[in-house]
């Protein structure tokens, strides 16, 4: 097992290196750079910069160096834990991401818990009571959940809340708590609002997992060992949870890894629509504005977390499912 | 137009609709108004908006302060109000009544890149535009003199005026800005353009602690207006010198650079010199940042040393604090407004949402004011006179007759109905009716929809043969004559123009460009026809912001290379010819002359050349934009000209706005 983990860790090094190249390349792809946009703004505000001035600014931002040098510089700093400065926000990238991290984490965690709490029992129920009225209802609902885009649901909810109660349900706090220090009251206030993004973000995830759970469990339930166990008189509930469910749960575990980057980035579009102070919109803006270091470091962080998450998933799977071990 | 910055994301996202609406609101976010008329009586009728209580009332004898500050004084934490105010504080008149202290002004924004909206409220310029935007009035400087040939400008400061940390504000702060910031090549590669006359940067001298002189080697008559237009030429020396290698201890500076996580001292200096991010930076603003602008709620608190009072001697501002809630999406601004969760704001309000604003007025307990703007036309088509990729097309882009034909081919009434709820009026992009020198003939020229006439004019240009699709063939018969319209976001108006032009046989391609691509191509002279909105179409503000009426820089889409030629003092770019060169010469004349009457005449000639040549085809404009104001939020003028240069609504005196308590 230890050897397995060590090998996997070793694989991560080249993977991350390749990712860093790709991440950097993606940011360099669009024409122009942060300065193009910046100079354009300067021009619009009545300042026409001379060629000399542009060159000076390029030097100041380090944009005059060839691409590979900038890449090396960036990776070197990254290795030292320095994610660079955001051009647009004029602050260290790490600070920007960090200050939004807690809320992003909370929302994502709640969402994941919500998804599991709902999808798990419903998936089992649907499989065990296949083609029952309940199964049809849940199946119908989950198809709707899969079919409606999250942001649309968010918009509809916002409008509903406004027309019903006359409030704009944006953000995670009501105005009086927004700039208040953390307190019990503030947490309670957040709880009042957090269900909106959680439910919205949860719908499609829930729907997806219900379908997966149902399909996997159905496969297992038809296998001979289940029939054998039942024939031997094992109580139905015990039988269900001891074997088929344990195997059907594999997809949950293998996706645990993917929730890790999700915990950091949050759901971008829904965050934009609901104006949640999470990391997703930050990344979106960085990409739009070619805020190179913010975007690059962010993508790098997410990729690293995906890789780490996948490793965690694999280890968990190996632990839960003996069939996978040591391959 | 700085507004644009914030709006980058909007452009990309909603780019669709009428570029100009967005643009409009963006800029609108701050748009100004009109006329500056220095001491000599302007040759004009007064401009724009009503309101505008005029001259400064006499300073009251005794001063009063907000209760919260009075307590601090009592506790010995703050000197008494008499010591905090200058000997001659600036007295601001109120629009409705003397206000009451207190309250929290709630606004919304799209994040730090949108900070310009707040700057337009708090920014304190050297001089400023009067509330009606007709003339230049004192602000930071209490008075000024200009010598006869407009080469020397002497400024008198307010004795006893203080920075927000209580440190005296003197001529040294001007000299620090001049010598150590502007003249430091490393720190400021691009000099402050308003103090540039051609390639000459103005010279600043300290006469005594409260007198500063700025001089030029040639006449710069326009400089008086420049000093009122986003002109800030001072910085808190006592604070910033610790980050400047000329003054700072080398080791300490190195340590500070390390600690801040930046690489060079100029980056550190720039960070520390940010009114937005740095709470410690002493400022002259009525409200000072007191939180992280990156947080959900950005808070600004009152400046206890603010140097303005009302006519009864109450220290301003009335309102305790201003908060901005961070929204990720512009559409949410509308939702916030109609839910009554915004106290006063016009930035990001949109014309197309007016029905929604109106419908929810009572429920949200707010009123909707309509403020005029300076847009000549919200959606204009600028024909690149420098375009040279294809000589045949270039020849037509440069043809006055061709442009006129395409102008009458446009159905402006229909554009208004389809893209602007019918609220926009057809007009060329020329001086707005409020402007001195407004000429209805320029406004109406070539705006009458007449496809027959357009066809006839195009025939006369020799474009008589058509291909099988009905498009007119190029004179060299190499396929149809094709015009490419480039825009950041293609909207309904673009689509309509395409159908109108194709209806008269001119093949039209719409090129939707991402913003940076647009600017790259603009600088590389690769745009044939670009669309945008034209603002500041009012005398004399357009002289301070001449991007749209002459080649002023590469952002002047009518001739980017000639713009570069002008901006670089003839060193780079392409020298323009004919009327395009004439308009530059006229501008130089208007800029230099100390004679107000002369300047007006020259400026009008510039406008006439624009109307005559139609380098820019105007379509329609929405003359007024919505402003949301809570009913208890008072002293806000009914009408106020939204311009860029006049720093509106800053020149409507936000420190005098207040919450009326029952």
CATH (domain of B577):
3.10.105.10
* CB contact B520 to A (< 8 Å): yes
So what's the pLDDT on residue B261? 74
Q: What is the mean pLDDT of each run of 10 residues along chain B (662 residues)?
A: 35 32 35 36 37 49 89 93 94 95 93 84 95 92 94 96 96 96 85 84 96 95 92 95 93 89 83 89 96 84 96 95 88 90 92 91 94 92 94 95 96 92 92 93 95 96 92 92 91 94 95 79 90 89 90 88 86 91 95 91 96 95 94 96 90 96 82
Q: Does residue A175 sit at the B interface (CB-CB below 8 Å)? A: yes
- Testing the interface with B: which of A27, A38, A47, A48 to mutate, by most B Cβ within 10 A? A48
Specify if A22 maps to a domain.
Answer: no
Residue in B1, B341, B519 closest to A36 by CB: B519
Q: Is the dihedral of CA B124, B650, B145, B160 positive or negative?
A: negative
Chain B: residue whose CA lies nearest to A159: B335
In a domain, B10, yes or no: yes
Question: Which residues have CB under 8 Å from B101's CB, separation 6+?
Answer: B66, B67, B68, B314, B318, B320, B658
Domain co-membership, B457 together with B600: yes
Nearest by CB to A285, from B9, B364, B514: name it: B9
Same domain, B423 and B474: yes
At A66-81, the pLDDT tens digits run: 888 888 888 888 888 7
Q: Considering only residues 63 to 82 of chain A, which have any Cβ-Cβ distance to chain B shorter than 8 Å?
A: 82
pLDDT at residue A39, as a whole number: 67
**pLDDT value of position B588:** 92
Q: What is the mean pLDDT of chain A?
A: 81
Q: In chain A, what residues touch B336 (CB-CB under 8 Å)?
A: 168, 170
Point out the residue among A43, A52, A96 whose CB comes nearest to the CB of B555: A43
Of A88, A158, A179, the CB nearest to B335: A158
User: How many Å apart are CA B256 and CA B263, to the nearest integer?
Assistant: 10
Q: Which residues pair with B472 in a beta bridge?
A: B466
Taking contacts as CB-CB distances below 8 angstroms, the residues of chain A near B519 are: 32, 36-37, 39-40
Count of alpha carbons within 13 angstroms of residue B90, beta-carbon side: 28
Does B629 lie in the same domain as B616? no
> Which domain, by its residues, includes B645?
56-113+284-373+625-662
Nearest-Cα residue of chain B relative to residue A82: B261
CATH number at residue B63: 3.40.190.10
In a domain, B169, yes or no: no
Give the number of domains in chain B: 2
Name the domain count of chain A: 1
What whole-number distance in Å separates Cα of residue A202 and Cα of residue A141?
A: 13
Angle of the A2-28 helix axis to the A67-79 helix axis, nearest 10: 140
* Percent residues over pLDDT 70 in chain A: 90
Q: Which residue is associated with the tokens 């909206």?
A: B117
Paired with B288 in beta bridges are B301
Inter-chain touch B516–A60, beta carbons under 8 Å: no
Contacts of B71 (CB under 8 A, 6+ apart): none
Between β-strands B321-326 and B104-109, what pairing exists: parallel, antiparallel or unpaired?
Answer: parallel
Residues B615 and B631 in one domain: no
A4 belongs to a structural domain: no
* Domain annotation covers residue B202: no
Determine contact, residues B421/B434, Cβ cutoff 8 Å: no
Show which of residues 263-292 on chain A sit within 8 Å of chain B, judged by CB atoms. Answer: 271-277, 281, 285, 288-290
Query: A326: burial class by Cβ within 10 Å (0-12, 13-18, 19+)?
Result: exposed
Residues B630 and B548 in one domain: no
Rounded to 10 degrees, the C-alpha dihedral A267/A272/A278/A282 comes to: 100
A325 vs A58, higher pLDDT: A58
> Average pLDDT in the A166-194 region?
80
Helices (H), A45-149: 51-61, 67-79, 93-128, 133-147
For residue B430, give the nearest of B661, B606, B638 by alpha carbon: B606
* Best of A275, A276, A286, A297 to mutate (most B CBs within 10 Å, chain B): A275
CATH number of the domain bearing residue A171: 1.10.3720
- Contact flag B341-A53 (C-beta cutoff 8 Å): no
Same-domain check for residues B411 and B558: yes
Q: Does residue A34 fall inside a structural domain?
A: no
B484 and B520 co-located in one domain = yes
How close B329 comes to chain A (CA, Å)? 6
Claim to verify: residue B521 and residue B432 sit in the same structural domain: yes
- Asked if residue B576 and residue B436 are part of one domain, the reply reads yes
Is residue A188 domain-resident? yes
The candidate with the shortest Cα–Cα distance to B238, out of B195, B288, B266, B272, is B272
Q: How far apart are CA A291 and CA B357, in angstroms?
A: 35
Which residue did the predictor score with more confidence, B455 or A307? B455
Instruction: Give the β-pairing of B152-156 and B211-215.
Output: antiparallel
Question: Does pLDDT of A233 surpass 80?
Answer: yes
Which run of H or of E encompasses A47?
Answer: none
Query: What is the pLDDT, as a whole number, of residue A141?
Result: 85
Residue A277 with chain B: CB contacts under 8 Å: 295-296, 326
Q: Return the pLDDT at B25.
A: 35
Report the chain B residue with the minimal C-alpha distance to residue A38: B5
Note whether B262 contacts A: Cβ–Cβ < 8 A: yes
Query: Which chain A residues are Cβ-neighbours of B563 within 8 angstroms?
Result: 48
Do B33 and B642 meet the contact criterion of CB atoms below 8 Å apart?
Answer: yes
Please tell me the predicted confidence (pLDDT) of residue B17: 32
Q: In this structure, is residue B123 part of a structural domain? A: no
Pick from A82-96, A98-112, B199-213, B358-372: least confident: A82-96
| Domain range enclosing A155 | 102-285
Write down the pLDDT at residue B551: 93
- Give residue-wise pLDDT tens across range A234-284: 888 888 888 888 888 887 777 777 777 776 766 777 888 888 878 888 888
Give pLDDT, residue B611.
Answer: 95
B522/B450 same-domain check: yes
Residues B93 and B28 in one domain: no
Chain B nearest CA to A63, separation (Å): 14
Contact assignment for A158 to B264 by CB distance below 8 Å? no
Please check whether residue B141 lies inside any domain of the structure: no
Q: Percent of chain A, pLDDT > 90?
A: 2
Report yes or no: A83 at the B interface, CB cutoff 8 Å.
Answer: no
Whether residue B588 sits in one domain with residue B613: yes
Q: Is the ipTM of this complex over 0.90?
A: no
Q: Quick check: is A151 in a domain?
A: yes
- In terms of Cα–Cα distance, which of A29, A51, A31, A48 is closest to B521? A31
Q: What is the pLDDT of residue A221?
A: 87
- Does a structural domain hold residue B131? no
Q: Cα–Cα distance between A293 and A86 in angstroms, integer?
A: 6
Domain-located, residue A27: no
Residue A38 confidence (pLDDT) above 90: no
């Amino acid at each position: 097992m230890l050897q397995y983990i060590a090998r996997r860790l070793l694989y991560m090094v080249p993977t991350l290196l390749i990712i860093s190249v790709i991440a950097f390349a993606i940011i360099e792809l669009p024409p122009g750079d942060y300065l193009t946009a910046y100079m354009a703004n300067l021009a619009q505000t009545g300042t026409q910069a001379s060629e000399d001035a542009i060159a000076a600014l390029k030097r100041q931002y380090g944009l005059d160096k060839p691409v590979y040098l900038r890449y090396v510089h960036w990776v070197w700093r990254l290795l030292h834990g320095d994610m660079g400065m955001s051009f647009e926000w004029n602050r260290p990238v790490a600070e920007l991401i960090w200050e939004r991290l807690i809320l992003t984490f909370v929302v994502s965690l709640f969402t994941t818990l919500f998804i599991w709490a709902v999808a798990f029992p419903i998936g089992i129920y649907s499989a065990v009571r296949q083609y029952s009225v309940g199964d049809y209802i849940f199946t119908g609902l989950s198809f709707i959940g899969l079919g409606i885009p999250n942001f649309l649901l968010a918009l509809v909810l916002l409008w509903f809340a406004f027309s019903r109660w006359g409030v704009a349900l944006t953000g995670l706090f009501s105005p009086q708590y927004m700039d208040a220090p953390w307190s019990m009251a503030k947490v309670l206030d957040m709880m009042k609002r957090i269900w909106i993004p959680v439910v919205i973000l949860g719908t499609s995830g829930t729907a997806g997992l219900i379908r997966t759970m149902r399909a996997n469990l159905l496969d297992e339930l038809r296998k001979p060992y289940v029939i054998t166990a039942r024939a031997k008189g094992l109580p139905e509930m015990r039988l269900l949870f001891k074997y088929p469910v344990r195997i059907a749960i594999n997809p949950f575990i293998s996706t645990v890894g993917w929730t890790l980057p999700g915990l950091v980035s949050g759901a971008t579009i829904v965050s934009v629509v609901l104006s949640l102070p999470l990391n997703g919109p930050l990344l979106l803006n960085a990409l739009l504005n070619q805020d190179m270091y913010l975007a690059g470091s962010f993508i790098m962080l997410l990729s690293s977390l995906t890789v780490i998450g996948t490793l965690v998933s694999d280890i968990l799977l190996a632990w839960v499912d003996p069939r996978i071990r040591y391959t | 137009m700085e507004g644009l910055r914030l709006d980058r994301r909007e452009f990309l996202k909603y780019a669709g609709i009428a570029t100009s609406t967005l643009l409009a609101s963006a800029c609108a976010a701050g748009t100004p108004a009109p006329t500056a008329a220095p001491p000599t009586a302007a040759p004009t009728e007064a401009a724009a908006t009503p309101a505008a209580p005029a001259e400064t009332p006499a300073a009251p004898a005794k001063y009063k302060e907000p209760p919260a500050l009075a307590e601090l004084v009592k506790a010995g934490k703050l000197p008494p109000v008499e010591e905090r105010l200058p000997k001659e504080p600036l007295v601001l008149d109120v629009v409705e009544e003397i206000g009451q202290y207190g309250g929290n002004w709630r606004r919304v924004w799209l994040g730090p890149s949108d900070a310009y909206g707040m700057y337009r409220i708090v920014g304190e310029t050297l001089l400023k535009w009067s509330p009606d935007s007709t003339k230049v009035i004192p602000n930071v400087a209490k008075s000024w003199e200009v010598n006869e040939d407009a080469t020397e400008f002497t400024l008198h400061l307010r004795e006893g005026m203080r920075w927000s940390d209580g440190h005296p504000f003197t001529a040294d702060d001007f000299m620090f800005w001049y010598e150590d910031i502007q003249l430091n090549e490393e720190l400021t590669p691009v000099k402050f353009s308003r103090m540039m006359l051609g390639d000459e940067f103005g010279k600043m001298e300290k006469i005594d602690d409260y007198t500063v002189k700025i001089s030029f080697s040639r006449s710069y008559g326009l400089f008086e207006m420049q000093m009122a237009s986003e002109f800030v030429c001072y910085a808190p020396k006592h604070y910033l010198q610790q980050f400047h290698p000329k003054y700072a201890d080398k080791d300490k500076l190195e340590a500070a650079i390390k600690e801040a996580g930046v690489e060079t001292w100029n980056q550190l200096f720039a960070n520390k010199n940010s009114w937005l991010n740095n709470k410690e930076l002493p400022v002259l603003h009525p409200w000072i940042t007191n939180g992280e602008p990156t947080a959900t709620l950005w808070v600004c608190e009152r400046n206890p040393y603010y140097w303005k009072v009302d006519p009864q001697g109450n220290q301003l501002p009335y309102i305790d604090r201003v908060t901005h809630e961070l929204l990720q999406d512009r559409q949410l601004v509308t939702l916030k407004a109609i839910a009554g969760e915004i106290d006063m704001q016009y930035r990001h309000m949109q014309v197309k949402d007016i029905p929604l604003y109106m419908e929810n007025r009572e429920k949200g307990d707010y009123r909707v004011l309509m403020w005029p703007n300076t847009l000549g036309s919200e959606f204009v088509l600028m024909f690149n006179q420098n375009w040279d990729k294809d000589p045949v097309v270039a020849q037509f882009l440069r043809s006055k007759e061709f442009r006129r034909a395409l102008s009458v081919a446009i159905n402006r009434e229909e554009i208004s109905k389809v893209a602007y709820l019918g609220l926009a009026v057809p007009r060329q992009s020329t001086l707005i009716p409020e402007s001195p020198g407004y000429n209805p003939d320029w406004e109406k020229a070539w705006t009458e929809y007449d496809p027959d006439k357009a066809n006839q004019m195009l025939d006369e240009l020799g474009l008589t043969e058509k291909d099988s699709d009905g498009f007119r063939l190029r004179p060299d018969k190499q396929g149809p004559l094709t015009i490419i319209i480039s825009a950041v976001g293609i909207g309904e108006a673009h689509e309509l123009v395409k159908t109108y032009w194709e209806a008269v046989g001119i093949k039209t391609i719409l090129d939707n460009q991402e913003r940076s691509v647009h600017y790259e191509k603009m600088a590389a002279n690769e745009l044939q026809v670009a669309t945008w909105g034209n603002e500041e179409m009012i005398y004399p503000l357009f002289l301070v912001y001449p991007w749209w009426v002459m080649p002023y820089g590469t952002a002047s889409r009518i001739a980017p290379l000639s713009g570069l030629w002008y901006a670089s003092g003839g060193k780079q770019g392409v020298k323009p010819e004919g009327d395009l060169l004439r308009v530059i010469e006229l501008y130089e004349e208007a800029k230099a002359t100390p004679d107000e009457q002369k300047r007006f005449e020259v400026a009008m000639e510039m406008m006439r050349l624009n109307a005559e040549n139609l380098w820019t085809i105007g379509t329609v404009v929405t003359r007024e934009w919505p402003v949301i104001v809570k009913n208890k939020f008072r002293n806000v003028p009914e009408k106020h000209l939204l311009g860029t240069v006049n720093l509106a609504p800053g020149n409507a005196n936000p420190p005098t706005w207040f919450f009326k308590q029952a």
